[in-house]
Amino acid sequence: MSETQDLNIPLGPPQEKMSQALASVEDVHGERMRVQMGPQHPATHGVLRVEIETDGELIIKGTPHIGYLHRCFEKVAENITWPQIVPFTDRLDYCSSMNNNLGFVLACEKLFGIEVSERIQTIRVLVTELNRVANHCVAIAAYSLDIGAWTPFLLLIQEREHILDLFEEICGGRLLLNYIWIGGLSHDVPDGWLPKVHEFVEYMKPKIPELNQLLSYNKIFIERLANVAVIPADVCYQYGVTGPNIRGAGVKWDLRKNEPYSGYETYDFDIPIGTGEMGQVGDAWDRYIVRVREVEQSLRIIEQAATRLEGMPGDDVKAAIPKTFAKVPKGEIYFRTEQPKGELGFYLISNGKAKPYRVKCRAPSFSNLCVMPKVAPGLLIADMVALIGSIDIVLGDVDR
């Protein structure tokens, strides 16, 4: 044991040394082993299979194999009516149902020329930001479990339960919600709900410093993530990586700021980015800490939205919902929103009938996962777990 303690074995070689490491492996060893992670593997998120070629502990090639959860969302959407599609969007990224609802509904409303009241827009912002916090709680909790930390997982899942309780009270659902409808909402906020939102915000604020002390700045956690699986900004551009992953690479890009919708331009919040605080810009730790800091910013938005609603006159949240979708305007549109995992886009074609002619979903998890073959070479096998968790994918969103 005393001899092994003196060994200086890097847990994750920096990106610029990877090519040298790979070259030395090719020259000296030349023997490879193929390792299958998944499709049912405790270290993969969802039903994902990763085929890894290794030389010892060093990964030469990493290829994700997807499709195990394919549900034909796009084809199903072309065979049901416009409002019937909304519940199916819940099941894309089932950790971000509200955000999926909003993305599809806003695309439909722009295509059909439907305008909703300020109150409806404010409620939508409030519930989608609550869902963003819930999503990041799951992402960080699962990531901490991947790295070997059990306590943060219990803490964050417990905090997420408070949000699910709020969702259950407002619409009856906890995970799959079908709350945001084309032209409005399924329910208005119930009496006494907004004070509970304020109470949750005040409860959640001190939990962030507690998480940072427990996990974010934990020496072991930092050593497992710093300088590991670096995704530079130019690679993000090449592969269409968005959301916290591109912001972790130091790029200040957030559709809520750059292409605001639902009145986001009227809210005061910041865009956290990776700065290379613990290692290189764009490493696994940067992607992790961006999500932590986004929770703080979402709490700011939630607080502002709840305060606005308290002083806003009530109206019928179903008033702008079309009485029938038998005849709708013809045309096509692409609309994108900032979903917790990245840019969620919907391309819709209407031929004027009750069912869409074409529905195409640009899922953030799919594009984010595609960067794996580029980043995996040069990592150690243990670092593959750190890479997958830092990207934050949901296979329902990848496969659709």
Residues 194-215 have pLDDT tens digits of 999 999 999 999 999 999 999 9
- H or E stretch including 64? strand 58-65
pLDDT of residue 56: 87
pLDDT of residue 27: 45
* pLDDT > 90? residue 16: no
Write the pLDDT tens digit of every residue in 307-357.
999 988 888 888 888 988 888 999 999 999 999 999 999 999 999 999 999
pLDDT of residue 3: 35
pLDDT of residue 130: 96
* pLDDT > 60? residue 278: yes
Query: Which DSSP symbol is given to 37?
Result: E
Q: What is the mean pLDDT of the segment spanning 102-124?
A: 95
Q: Decide the pairing of beta strands 331-339 and 342-350.
A: antiparallel
| Sheet containing 358-362, strands listed edge to edge, beginning at the edge strand earlier in sequence | 331-339, 342-350, 358-362
* pLDDT > 50? residue 166: yes
Question: Quick one: three-class SS letters along 227-241?
Answer: CCCCCCHHHHHHHCC
pLDDT of residue 371: 93
CA separation, residue 229 to residues 104, 204, 249, 338, 379 (Å): 33, 30, 11, 24, 7
Write the pLDDT tens digit of every residue in 375-387.
999 999 889 989 9
pLDDT of residue 366: 92
At residue 161 the predicted structure's pLDDT band, cuts being 50, 70 and 90, is very high
> What is the rounded (10 degree) CA torsion for 95, 99, 101, 105?
-170
Q: What is the mean pLDDT of the segment spanning 252-260?
A: 94
Q: What is the mean pLDDT of the segment spanning 8-16?
A: 43
Asked which of 1-10, 144-153, 290-299, 303-312 is least confident by mean pLDDT, the reply is 1-10
Q: What is the mean pLDDT of the segment spanning 59-83?
A: 92
pLDDT of residue 30: 58
Asked which of 30-39, 145-154, 164-173, 205-214 is least confident by mean pLDDT, the reply is 30-39
Encode burial over 372-386: b for 16+ CB neighbours within 10 A, e otherwise.
Answer: beebbbbbbbebbbb
At residue 252 the predicted structure's pLDDT band, cuts being 50, 70 and 90, is very high
Encode burial over 144-166: b for 16+ CB neighbours within 10 A, e otherwise.
Answer: bbbbebeebbebbeebbebbbeb
Beta strand segments in 236-328, E: none
pLDDT of residue 42: 72
* pLDDT > 60? residue 10: no
pTM comes to 0.89
* pLDDT > 60? residue 289: yes
Comparing C-alpha atoms, which of 49, 14, 24 is closest to residue 35? 49
Domains in the chain (CATH in brackets) are 2-65 (no CATH), 81-362+379-399 (1.10.645.10)
* pLDDT > 60? residue 1: no
Quote the percentage of the chain above a pLDDT of 70.
92
